A = this chain, B = another copy of it.
Amino acid sequence: MKPLQNDSLIPLYHQLKERLKTSIDDGQWKPGDKIPSENQLMKEYSVSRNTAKKAIEELVQDGLLYRLQGKGTFVAKPKLQQSLMGLYSFSKVFKEKGLVPKDIVIEIKEVKPSYEIITELQLAEEENVIEMKRLRCVDDEPYVLESSFFPKRVVPDISLLKRVGEISLYDLLEEGLNVVVTRAKEAFEPVLIRSEESEYLQTKEGNPALLLERIAYGSDGVPVEFCRSIVRGDRCRFYTELT
């Protein structure tokens, strides 16, 4: 264990913060693990308790750690999952009402990517993608038609994807394929339901809908998923609160 540089321009608590962060990013400490106490860090790095505390507090602020009085300090679940879950407030609302969400996989296949997908996923030439098309229902009523595209190198074995429905897509990517999504960009705009979509969504062509596009990035910053969703306008309403 290298000591921290006391004469450095970088504050001690910041150096310590980076050390702790590294241990998390490495996977040395996993979500739910207990990390060393303030007292242990104090001795190990020869800093005061307040300095150790400040390093930890910043990581709590960043959402990487959480603390329980009398118990200890623990590694938090990656933040993005919380955000992703949080965004889809309409599905949460359904669950709160006691309705049952259900996903139907329409098809999973290898396809040649369109020009748009090549650029969004930053694909190499001649690289194919895996498309997974799903109909997401609540109480057997469809409300989202969703196509996810993955670079083939990310999902070498298609059969793994078939377990979607049992567990969430992001858990599947993380546990089955060791792909952790750390960042995502989303864009949305209002559109009209098209005839191909109207069949799946059991609604009329020309009805209002939301087109939602998401690019998810892995921990190395490389795009791992491009997802395009059509959400029925008569079945959803999005809420945000500004404080």
The interface bits of chain A over 165-188 (1 if a CB of B lies within 8 angstroms of the residue's CB, else 0) are 000000000000000001111111
Main secondary structure of the interface of A (DSSP, over half): strand
Contact between A237 and B189 (Cβ–Cβ < 8 Å)?
Answer: yes
Q: Which of A62-89 contact B (CB under 8 A)?
A: 79-80, 83-84, 87
Q: How many copies, total? A: 2
Q: Which of A87, A192, A237, A242 is packed against the most chain B CB atoms within 10 Å? A: A242
A28 within 8 A of B: no
Contact between B242 and A191 (Cβ–Cβ < 8 Å)?
Answer: no
9-residue interface stretch from A96-104, A116-124, A147-155, A205-213 = A205-213
Contact between B243 and A80 (Cβ–Cβ < 8 Å)?
Answer: yes
A206 to B83, CA, bound (A): 33
Partner of A190, one of B80, B182, B208, B240: B208
CB distance from A8 to the nearest CB of B (A): 18
> What B residues does A210 contact at CB under 8 A?
189-190
A26 within 8 A of B: no
CB distance from A146 to the nearest CB of B (A): 16
> What B residues does A241 contact at CB under 8 A?
183-186
Partner of A242, one of B87, B189, B233: B87
A191 to B189, CA, bound (A): 11
User: Could you name 6 residue pairs across A and B whose Cβ atoms are closer than 8 Å?
Assistant: A61-B61, A79-B243, A183-B242, A187-B239, A190-B191, A191-B208
Contact between B192 and A242 (Cβ–Cβ < 8 Å)?
Answer: no
CB distance from A159 to the nearest CB of B (A): 29
Q: Which of A225-243 contact B (CB under 8 A)?
A: 231, 233, 236-243
Contact between A186 and B87 (Cβ–Cβ < 8 Å)?
Answer: no
